[in-house]
């Protein structure tokens, strides 16, 4: 039987519509959520991401501020901007788009963001909160993955979940969220001995390695839910970490690229921004 195609675009649109109603209610109480985004340098991908974030804000009714800085910007100037946003009571969420130019230490910038405004959920305080199941802001891509699984009624509790990739922004936090949802979780990486033997045990397989079509049909358990976090720009266009054409013949459910996990990241960012505004207002 052909796999269910998990439509991240549709789920993202549903969440944004839910948030739009919530924001309208907040505005009637005098609360206007506001997201500030810093874009440093000329990374073409980043420009597209930031534009998508601005469009999502406009759709939902979130005020957005964008500060575009040249690639030559100093670390001190980025830190000064972040500090001014930390102090600004009208700003609820702060996002410094990654990657940053080489002269800027990303970790220092992250540490400078007020953790109560860290809507990416990347500040070490929020990473720790996620670890102990006390998140205010869950990291957006991992929480988007959990949301997709839930909205497609894919049973997480008791499942065998295998995460391929151990990055700080996807692999590790999604493994932790799956664990909080009572999956039995395994994290695989480049040193894993027999990767295919591990992935074939997965009821839920998360591919977050950054290698085009790395996960092939023979690595998938029949009926498994396959979540592809890959966003690889190849000569043939955008492509995931999963060989979609082959995998969809084996999987029970699968996310496409584009239109799977990608749109969920922005929806979760919008949710975190609304959450930040509510928390700041004591709601
Ligand atoms: N670059 C690509 N995706 C993201 C994201 O979700 N947040 C930030 N800050 N930078 C990114």
Q: For residue 211, what is the domain's CATH number?
A: 3.40.50.720
Does 23 score more than 80 pLDDT? Answer: yes
- pLDDT tens digit sequence for 29-70: 999 999 999 999 999 889 999 999 999 999 999 999 999 999
Distance between Cα 269 and ligand 1 center (Å):
10
CA-closest candidate to residue 206, choices 171, 177, 233:
171
Asked if 144 and 251 sit in the same domain, the reply is yes
Would you place residue 2 in the very low, low, confident or very high pLDDT band (cuts 50, 70, 90)?
confident
- Residue 20 located in a structural domain: no
Query: Could you give the number of structural domains in the chain?
Result: 2
> Active-site residue 213, yes or no?
no
The answer to whether residue 53 sits within a structural domain is yes
Which of 35, 50, 98, 121 for mutating ligand 1's site (highest number of atoms within 8 Å of CB)?
98
Averaged over 130-152, what is the pLDDT? 97
Residue with tokens 């991401």: 49
Q: Which domain holds residue 94?
A: 29-115
Claim to verify: residue 92 and residue 205 sit in the same structural domain: no
Q: Is 268 in the pocket of ligand 1 (CB under 6 A)?
A: no
Q: What pLDDT shows up at residue 1?
A: 73
What's the pLDDT at 40? 98
pLDDT tens digits, one per residue of 216-230? 999 999 999 999 999
What is the CATH number for 82? 3.40.50.10860
Q: How far is the CA of 98 from the centre of ligand 1 (A)?
A: 5
In a domain, 16, yes or no: no
Q: Supply the mean pLDDT for the chain.
A: 97
Nearest CA to ligand 1 atom 8: 97
- Band of pLDDT at residue 236, cut at 50, 70 and 90: confident
Q: Which of 45, 117, 120, 229 to mutate to test the pocket of ligand 1 (most atoms within 8 A of CB)?
A: 120
For the segment 6-27, the average pLDDT, to the nearest whole number, is 98
CA distance 212 to 198: 19
| pLDDT(265) > 90 | yes
pTM score: 0.97
């Amino acid at each position: 039987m052909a796999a269910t195609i998990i439509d991240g675009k549709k789920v993202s649109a549903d969440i944004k519509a839910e948030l739009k109603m919530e924001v309208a209610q907040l505005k009637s109480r005098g609360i206007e959520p506001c997201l500030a985004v810093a874009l440093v340098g000329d990374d073409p991908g980043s420009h597209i991401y930031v534009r998508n974030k601005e469009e999502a804000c406009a759709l939902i009714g979130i005020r957005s501020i964008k500060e575009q800085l040249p690639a030559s910007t100093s670390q001190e100037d980025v830190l000064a901007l972040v500090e001014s946003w930390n102090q600004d009571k009208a700003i609820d969420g702060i996002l410094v788009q990654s990657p940053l130019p080489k002269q800027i230490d990303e970790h220092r910038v992250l540490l400078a963001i007020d953790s109560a405004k860290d809507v990416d959920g990347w500040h070490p305080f929020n990473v720790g909160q996620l670890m102990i199941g006390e998140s205010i802001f869950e990291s957006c891509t991992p929480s988007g993955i959990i949301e997709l699984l839930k909205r497609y009624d894919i049973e997480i509790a008791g499942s065998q979940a295998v995460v391929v990739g151990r990055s700080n922004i996807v692999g590790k936090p999604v493994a932790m969220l799956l664990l909080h949802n009572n999956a039995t979780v395994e994290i695989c990486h480049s040193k894993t001995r027999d990767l295919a033997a591990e992935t074939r045990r997965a009821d839920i397989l998360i591919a977050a390695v950054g290698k085009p079509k790395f996960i092939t049909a023979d690595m998938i358990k029949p009926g498994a839910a396959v979540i592809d976090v890959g966003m690889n720009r190849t000569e043939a266009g955008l492509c995931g970490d999963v060989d979609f054409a082959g995998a969809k013949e084996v999987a029970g459910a699968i996310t496409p690229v584009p239109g799977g996990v990608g749109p969920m990241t922005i929806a979760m960012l919008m949710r975190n921004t609304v959450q930040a505004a509510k928390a700041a207002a004591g709601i």
